[in-house]
Chain A
Amino acid sequence: GDSVTQMEGPVTLSEEAFLTINCTYTATGYPSLFWYVQYPGEGLQLLLKATKADDKGSNKGFEATYRKETTSFHLEKGSVQVSDSAVYFCALSPGGGADGLTFGKGTHLIIQP
Chain B
Amino acid sequence: AQSVTQLGSHVSVSEGALVLLRCNYSSSVPPYLFWYVQYPNQGLQLLLKYTSAATLVKGINGFEAEFKKSETSFHLTKPSAHMSDAAEYFCAVRNTGGFKTIFGAGTRLFVKA
Q: Do they bind each other?
A: no
Residues of chain B whose beta carbon lies under 8 Å from any beta carbon of chain A: none
Residues of chain A whose beta carbon lies under 8 Å from any beta carbon of chain B: none
